[in-house]
Structure 1
Amino acid sequence: MPLHHAVLHDRVCLEARGPEAAAFLHGQLSRSMLELAAGDAPLAGWADARGRVRAVLRVVPLPERWLLVTPREGADALLAKLRMFVLRAKVTLARADDVAVAALLGDAADVLGRRGVAADTPPNRMVRRDELGFVRIAPRYWQVLGPRAALEPLAAEAESAAATAADLAEIGLGIPAITPPIAERFVAQMLNLDALGAVSFDKGCYPGQEIIARVHNLGGGKRRARRYALHAAGTAEPAPATPVLDPNGRIVGDVVRAARAAQGFELLAVVDHAAAAGALTCCGAPLMELPLPFDVPRD
């Protein structure tokens, strides 16, 4: 697969600065922040008191600040809500508008090697070189964070691609994106955040921790995110919260995110376990389930 480069204009970075930034994020996010090793760049969820996920963030700790990669849509509202929990903590939250996000998709070994970045860096790890941070998301998918001017040379070393290529890669990995239509709708397990390593069940209290831990320890979850193909000519891209229907027209799921594929669309949808094996439709067209890189748990 040739190397493709895309600027992810639909992503922004928030930042947390200050002597208590790590402790503040540790107390808010579903993933432990205080035990991260140097170079870790994990996914983490931020939930409300009911365990309903407000955001899924890529957390990138740097010596001078913590970066939180999130969809652009709803980012300002998310920042405002996070600030409500700062109280007396010695932490400052802001938009990191000096940081842009790009994607490298395909065989990036040569481009990485020229910059001293090991192509076999484990997933969810970040290698920093000068002004750029190279975060390996999957074997053939890297996100690169840095000033726009520093990112520009990468574009000359790869074929141009649309940002939807990165969306497709993330859907294939089962990574959800939380935007306002679905914020505070799904508990962490419904989005497979546990299977994605975005939840630490041995950490202390954080918003929604009691509910998320109860589902983990006692079960009872009835819905999980699954990956589907939607092949239908003339169908518009399903928006987040678009319903998934069973053969009787009953709503049994909700779209989380979707992206245009070679034929139609691919999407992640949270679907009832009891309905997942049946014939499902979305936007009037049939859905075909596609594999994820992990087995979808049944709580």
Structure 2
Amino acid sequence: MNPVWQAFLQEYNATIEKGHVIHFRDDVTELKNAQTDTILVDLSNFGLIHFSGEEVLTFLQGQLTCDLRKIDHQTAQYGSYCTPKGRILANFIIWSHADHNEYFMQLPSTLLEAISKRLSMYILRAKVRLNDSSDSLIRIGIAGNKAKLLIEEIFHSIALPISPLGIIHTEQGSILCQDINRYEIITTLDHAVMIWPHLALKAIPVGTFCWDWLEIKAGIPVILPMTQEQFIPQMVNFDVTGGVSFQKGCYPGQEIIARTQYLGKLKRRMYLVNIASSQPVMAGDQLFSAELSEQSCGMIVNATPSPEGGFDALAVIQTNSVEAGKIFWKNLEGPALQILSLPYLLPQ
């Protein structure tokens, strides 16, 4: 986290640990706010890699699962970076700025260094530059019924995108539509310290876990260190949400990912669930069903406390276990998962 930005947020009573805003008041109240009010969130828990250079489009097109030809000045993309075996190392949102020689990739800050290093190994003599822009560009999330109106009050005379992954660029910064009534502002530190106080007059500052909860409810996973190399893109529904293209050329893992799509039957899918537990549910936790006895039938991808109680989570689970009945957290004596409805339909 940018140290000047951190000090600024602490003036607004932010409690910050390891570069993440934990809360401004208390967790329980802020989670209720995320459910019913318009909230304001610092997104420094995500890192930002800046790619530039004459050959950047060709380079990234050969490394990532998404089709960068579909990115323009008004449209971002979900995507992932995989091993040669098709297992996800990281997922992200990626967008272009000035032209197709400049891209920004947003991913968890805990993965930024390793992913940057791995991608740098493949640049070789390509005319591509890679830089960490996490501290130079501040990311602010705003969500709720008033989100669009509050942004329009600050960014005068602009037409905000209203479809997911629509993006607009202004002199004050870029505005990315993450979901209906949920936006992200990407701007410089100088602009951020002016924008935040105006938004905080009518939106409630909350910890980053509130944004995590909104991502979970939207069915958008975030691969973390404990879940790296556990899933192929279709397991986390990227074939539904647009994080993988089957019409582009080769990239690491492409053969296995394509074979699964066209020749195989996908045995695991990601589901939205609630777990009635008083103990923390964590990414990487194993799931079990009676049919498989001691063998795991799934894994938690992301989890956060639910305003309704327990934990809401995204979990990759064997489809036949979901169809068969009860699934349990950590062991067969653990709490049973309640399967909830995702905001999109899964292929039958």
- Secondary structure at the residue paired with 2:217? helix
Distance in 1 between residues matched to 2:172 and 2:277, nearest whole Å: 43
Which one has the largest radius of gyration? Answer: 2
Residue identity over aligned pairs, in percent, reads 26
User: Normalising to structure 1: TM-score of the pair?
Assistant: 0.94
1:19 Cα shift?
Answer: 1.1
- The answer (yes or no) to whether the contact 1:12–1:100 under 8 Å persists in 2 is no
1:218 Cα shift?
Answer: 1.4
Residue from 244, 247, 258 that aligns with 2:287: 244
Q: Which residue of 2 aligns with 1:215?
A: 260
Residue from 263, 266, 287 that aligns with 2:312: 266
Q: Which residue of 1 aligns with 2:247?
A: 202
Distance in 2 between residues matched to 1:8 and 1:149, nearest whole Å: 16
Distance in 2 between residues matched to 1:155 and 1:6, nearest whole Å: 12
1:35 Cα shift?
Answer: 3.6
Backbone CA RMSD of aligned residues = 1.6
Distance in 1 between residues matched to 2:161 and 2:56, nearest whole Å: 30
Q: Which runs of 5+ in 1 are unaligned?
A: none
Q: Which residue of 2 aligns with 1:255?
A: 300
Note if 1:52 corresponds to 2:87: yes
Note if 1:290 corresponds to 2:335: no
- The answer (yes or no) to whether the contact 2:87–2:253 under 8 Å persists in 1 is yes
Note if 1:167 corresponds to 2:216: no
Inter-CA distance 266–224: structure 2 relative to 1 (3 Å threshold): same
- Secondary structure at the residue paired with 1:156? helix
Measured against aligned partners, the alpha-carbon deviations of 1:166-193 in whole angstroms (never above 9, x if no partner) come to: 1111111111111111111111101111
- The answer (yes or no) to whether the contact 1:227–1:289 under 8 Å persists in 2 is yes
Q: Which residue of 2 aligns with 1:231?
A: 276
- The answer (yes or no) to whether the contact 1:226–1:296 under 8 Å persists in 2 is no
Note if 1:9 corresponds to 2:44: yes
Q: Where do 1:1-299 residues align within 5 Å?
A: 1-63=36-98, 65-96=102-133, 97-107=135-145, 108-114=147-153, 115=155, 116-119=157-160, 121-152=162-193, 153-157=195-199, 158-233=203-278, 235-236=279-280, 238-247=281-290, 248-262=293-307, 263-277=309-323, 278-283=325-330, 284-298=334-348
1:249 Cα shift?
Answer: 4.5
- The answer (yes or no) to whether the contact 1:5–1:155 under 8 Å persists in 2 is no
- Residue 156 of structure 1 aligns to which amino acid in structure 2? H
Distance in 1 between residues matched to 2:228 and 2:64, nearest whole Å: 15
More helix by share: 2
Q: Which runs of 5+ in 2 are unaligned?
A: 1-35
- The answer (yes or no) to whether the contact 2:160–2:168 under 8 Å persists in 1 is no
